Structure 1
């Protein structure tokens, strides 16, 4: 275990707070085995656990809640807060549109995540209410900063039209943002968003990599009484099992079950030097100081020492072991442990030796 501390959810919260959904983010640094944790939690009563491939990106994505929080609360300015709110609204729409095949305009605007299908028709209303609650004032004025995000041709056209005497027609609606209640408003929006997904008796909602592990504290603050579990794994096995499509039978047989040959290319495993640099930067960006809301575990410990590691997870999340009513139905350590030390059998042992040499402090100690 790298670093873990047991902490119960806030027992001093008000009655209203105690009835709220509590979020647990499960994260990693790329093909680290976090789905094993979500599979484990899927076996418990009282938890909502999404499909292992569903990642709620509205928090961490560029222009998402974390960027908006920074612009309106941590580093407020009239220019950047105005722009950040507009950008967030566009992201809400991009992630939310559930376009039909014949709706060409919506198809062009959609990012294909279709959150309004996942969360229901209230998705757009929830986030529009949230955005409106941040607006303290609107007025019309010349505001050149909005023009930085439009096409160059339209900027040229606007300059020509202004010289023709149409200057007033191009005044912008300026929004003055008050971010003092941002966390409260965002927390309320997340509660409303996830409430329809929860069944009676469920009080914890699991998020897949919604915050990322590098600086999760702002996201945990935003979500309220939240926790994060960060899963790390020996980079040699990440490299071996994360290869893209290969004609080599041995290599192909090592690929993770969810590896379609392309979706792991973000690991940069085509080039062992690039892989090592990527992993080094990710590893070194993990928090150095302890936050009692964050637990870090080795994937290898979870699948090779499941009783001990599961007990630590339960203490960290304040879960009753009696709620583990469907053991070994989703999390099957005997299956997952087959991928541990897979790199020993990887055809290119020179590449494995490079990883061993360049990333000594990132290696699983019992490998």
Structure 2
């Protein structure tokens, strides 16, 4: 099984690549959902850091608990099914098996982060009993403590890098193999990895992944978010926005964005130079033109062109456009 995925910085139009690749009948497009369990906080990358690179008798076991909590969060519930909607029971089953495979042994025990993770009131309630006892009948025995977490399980795990990567690759492969049609070997999954620090994340796929990093003219990113989407996810003050834009793209100064496994494209190139960029992308991904059976069905540059040069629709805010042009000249697209 081969993976194709997009990596973006927010609002950069990476769905255009997802839509383009989905037009090939040899690709299984696994919905437009973002599957971020590898890169998100408490995800697989954090697991590797805590279990392999920075092992600690408390942190490592706690990292497995936090990954289990992330699995439960992404599983969803009857109101918001989340990943269960796509994997069914497989999401939890394969994820819990992955946790078991990485666990050396467990025992009944706890530490203070097991209290903190349940919230301030839980922590206060559990510790209040000991405080009262130390002030009364145990005031002459300050070291005594009552165990209020008798059912808590502590995980112990310290795998080698080789074992961690083997378990992770098997986990990811089994998870997506369970939903992929048997007659298709290539699967398109959105946002499996971030655009930065990619050499770290590529190790989880054993050379069977292609990552397309997509960026967009900063003027469009700013004006779309502030005046059209109004999500509030990124800064809407233009000076802070420019700092944020630099901050999120700075890695490209020292990380290669064009390798056998990574390809950088501008959203605008796919729109304004559809044929040329499409050929480059298709050949790099190893897709055959004869299998492009649904051309322009999901990605139509004639439609997407209306989502470019958006700042022209807001002439009253030229000051913001000019500020971006002066602060971020190297990121502007030459229309």
Task: Classify the TM-score, shorter chain.
Answer: 0.7 to 0.9
- Does structure 1 residue 229 correspond to structure 2 residue 222? no
User: Residue 22 of structure 2 contacts residue 188 of structure 2 at CA under 8 Å; is this kept in 1?
Assistant: no
Which residue in the other structure is 2:141 paired with? Answer: none
Q: Is the 8 A contact 1:59 1:211 kept in 2?
A: yes
Say if 1:33 and 1:153 are closer, same or farther in 2 by CA, change over 3 A: closer
Q: Which segment drifts farther, 69-78 or 87-96?
A: 69-78
Q: Tell me the distance in 2 between the aligned counterparts of 1:148 and 1:240.
A: 40
Counterpart secondary structure, 2:226: coil
* TM-score, normalised relative to structure 2: 0.86
Matched, 1:350 2:325: no
- 3-state SS of the aligned residue for 1:243? helix
Instruction: Report the secondary structure of 2:41's partner residue.
Output: coil
* CA distance in structure 2 between the partners assigned to 1:335 and 1:135 by the alignment: 50
Match of 1:46 in 2: 26
Aligned: 1:294 with 2:262: yes
Matched, 1:130 2:98: yes
Question: Comparing 61-70 with 155-164, which one deviates more in the overlay?
Answer: 155-164
Q: Is the Cα–Cα contact under 8 Å of residues 75 and 81 in structure 2 kept in the other structure?
A: yes
Unpaired segments of 5 or more residues in structure 1? 1-20, 101-111, 245-254, 256-260
Check whether the contact 2:31–2:189 (CA below 8 A) recurs between aligned residues. no
CA distance in 1, matches of 2:312, 2:119: 53
The count of corresponding residues between Structure 1 and Structure 2 is 317
Matching residue of 1:109: none
Moved more, 157-166 or 285-294: 157-166
Q: Measure how far apart 1:40 and its partner are.
A: 0.5
Partners of 1:98 and 1:117 within 8 A in 2: no
Q: Does 1:335 align with 2:303?
A: yes
Q: SS of 2:189's equivalent? A: strand
Per-residue deviation at 1:23?
Answer: 1.6
3-state SS of paired residue (2:146): helix
Alignment pair present for 1:314 and 2:282: yes
- Give 1:32 shift: 1.0
Cα distance, 1:76 vs. partner? 2.1
Residue 154 of structure 2 is aligned to residue 174 of structure 1:
yes
**What secondary structure sits across from 2:187 in the alignment?**
strand
Distance 1:36 1:169 in 2: 53
Q: Once the 2 structures are TM-superposed, how far is the Cα of residue 309 of structure 1 from its aligned partner?
A: 1.0
Distance in 2 between the 1:352 and 1:150 partners?
46
Aligned residue for 1:274?
A: 240
Deviations 1:237-277 (A, max 9, x none): 22233334xxxxxxxxxx4xxxxx443x21323x2122212
More displaced 10-residue stretch of structure 1: 138-147 or 346-355: 138-147
User: Does 1:116 find its partner at 2:75?
Assistant: no
Conservation of the 8 A alpha-carbon contact between 1:28 and 1:230: yes
Aligned to 2:54: 75
Q: Following the alignment from structure 1 to structure 2, what is the Cα–Cα distance between the partners of residues 356 and 201?
A: 49
- In structure 2, list runs of 5 or more residues that go unmatched: 139-143
The alpha carbon displacement at 1:189 in A equals: 1.6
Deviation at 1:185, TM superposition (A): 1.4
The CA deviation string for residues 148-202 of structure 1, in whole angstroms up to 9 with x for no partner, is 4343444344445455666356455332103321222122222222223322322
What is residue 62 of structure 1 aligned with on the other side? 41
